[in-house]
Structure 1
Amino acid sequence: MENILRELRPNAKITGAYQSIEESVAALSKGPQPDLIFMDVQLADGLSFEIFKSVTISCPVVFCTAFDEYSLEAFKRNGVDYVLKPFSKEDIAGAMKKVDDLKNFFQQKTIPDLSDLLIQMVQPAEKTSFLVFKHQKYTTVQIAQIAYFYIRNESTSIMCFDGQEFSLNQSLDQVTGSVSQKQFFRVNRQYLINFSAIKEIEHYFLRKLYVKLVIETPDKLLINKEKSTSFLSWMENR
């Protein structure tokens, strides 16, 4: 993180790095607060949200963590972005841009537009990877590797372009809300597909569409007539 920040903002001063709630509270209780804090959720002695109970933090916070289930709590605690590990230089650059945009927003508007502010502050970042567990090991699957998500035996699974399959502990609705709407489309209740996985589309009975992917699916992918227009529009407007 420090290496990325020094590369992105060579003139910025990093005032400290702390591993625990106790160290963080002690540091933030002394002197002026920093302009920005990058904060993990799970620290050595507990969740970082405990810090806010002991000290008032007035600066924006970018949360960086491997766990996506804390995003709502993070945005209640000065969070302006929520970056999931493993993060890249581009992820941190995007978070810094969001902070700069908010700063410019307040400088340009005496009375801020609440709806604009909420859109900028509360909208979570799109996921770039998923943490999965298989063969007694944790690993991450990058979004670009995923051909489609689908419901199998009442649970959500990932199917990769190389044929590897992983289970997720999230619902398909949760996954749909966390990935790029430009890159993924929910064709029906069971499948969320990657644009890059689409091979061809055929007209089917009753004005449905039959979508074929570059990798096989356990079920035939059919889009009903009510959804076919929005699907074709999604395909076209990219």
Structure 2
Amino acid sequence: MNIIIVEDELKTAKSLANMILGLKPNAKITGQYQSVASSVSALSEGTMPDLIFMDIQLADGLCFEIFKSVKITCPVIFCTAYDEYTLDAFKNNGVDYVLKPFSKQDIQEALRKVDELKNFFQQKTIPDLGDLLSKLTPSSGKTSFLIFQNQKYRTINVEDIAFFYIRHDATWIMCFDKQQYVISQSLDQITQSVSSLQFFRLNRQYLINFKAIKEVEPYFLRKLYVRLVIETPDKLLVNKEKSHSFLSWMEER
């Protein structure tokens, strides 16, 4: 299997390549590209690979621009920090949509889907595209979380949660009334379970509620500084790669 990686973060591209080759030793990474322009050039002149792993926001624009210039006939697995492009991904050969930071298990599951899709076509069976779309489309999310405190179980309504964060290897809930609770789920699990319209993963440590945002201002190196209505243990910064997605998320209300 010949595979191309389109990813503008070199460290991420290298990590992804190592994961792929570890899971599929017979695969070959035939190209790694960082921009829309270089990807269009390579795909126009070279042989179409069997599979493409593709980030969405590249150095010179969104990856969907590639599809306007090149007819891509192979499956595409989108690996990205942004969860608002699922429908676009589905329309552009997307067979899976893996959110960063991804794990080896995430990549293994994505490769499994590609193999299943290949088997479908070999058997001349049409895959259930409606089921695939339902898996790609974000759900409305959980409405409450179960916590254990003072030897008792109770639920916390999602609407009462200002943000989730990691502190000393534990995941915490911070409510608008400034009450805090430890929760058993990881921040990755919580991110996948809550509404992507209501919560945004700022970085590896913080997942914030839209209603908790007080103001946002530009910061050094094209970052954004986010202030919430209640104080946070750390300064909330959005890196330049994620700032466009964050502002777009704020607009979609």
Alignment TM-score, normalising by the size of structure 2: 0.52
Amino acid at match of 1:151: E
Structure possessing the higher relative contact order (Cα contacts under 8 Å, 6 or more residues apart): 2
**Structure 2 SS opposite 1:68:** coil
Larger-gyration structure (1/2):
1
**Structure 1 SS opposite 2:50:** coil
Any stretches of 5+ residues in structure 2 without a counterpart? 1-15, 140-154, 177-189, 199-253
Amino acid at match of 2:130: L
Change (3 A) 1:72 1:117: closer
- The answer to whether the 8 Å contact 1:21/1:46 transfers is yes
Query: Residue 124 of structure 1 is aligned with which of 114, 119, 136?
Result: 136
Amino acid at match of 2:77: V
State the distance in 1 between where 2:131 and 2:162 align.
Answer: 29
Name the structure 1 match of 2:229.
none
State the distance in 2 between where 1:27 and 1:118 align.
Answer: 32
- The answer to whether the 8 Å contact 1:34/1:59 transfers is yes
Query: Residue 32 of structure 1 is aligned with which of 35, 39, 47?
Result: 47
Change (3 A) 1:171 1:7: closer
Name the structure 2 match of 1:163.
172
- Identical-residue share of aligned pairs (%): 55
Deviation, 1:164, is 3.9
Amino acid at match of 2:109: G
Name the structure 1 match of 2:116.
101
- The answer to whether the 8 Å contact 1:148/1:159 transfers is no
Name the structure 2 match of 1:63.
78
Query: Residue 100 of structure 2 is aligned with which of 85, 96, 110?
Result: 85
Matches within 5 A, 1:1-238: 1-109=16-124, 112-113=125-126, 116-120=128-132, 123-124=135-136, 150-152=158-160, 157-158=163-164, 162-165=171-174, 173-174=195-196
- The answer to whether the 8 Å contact 2:164/2:172 transfers is no
Alignment TM-score, normalising by the size of structure 1: 0.55
Deviation, 1:123, is 2.0
State the distance in 2 between where 1:65 and 1:148 align.
Answer: 30
The count of aligned residue pairs is: 152
**Structure 2 SS opposite 1:29:** helix
**Structure 1 SS opposite 2:172:** coil
Amino acid at match of 1:42: Q
State the distance in 2 between where 1:169 and 1:11 align.
Answer: 34
- The answer to whether the 8 Å contact 2:77/2:96 transfers is yes
Give the root-mean-square deviation of aligned CA atoms. Answer: 3.5
- The answer to whether the 8 Å contact 1:36/1:61 transfers is yes
Deviation, 1:102, is 0.3
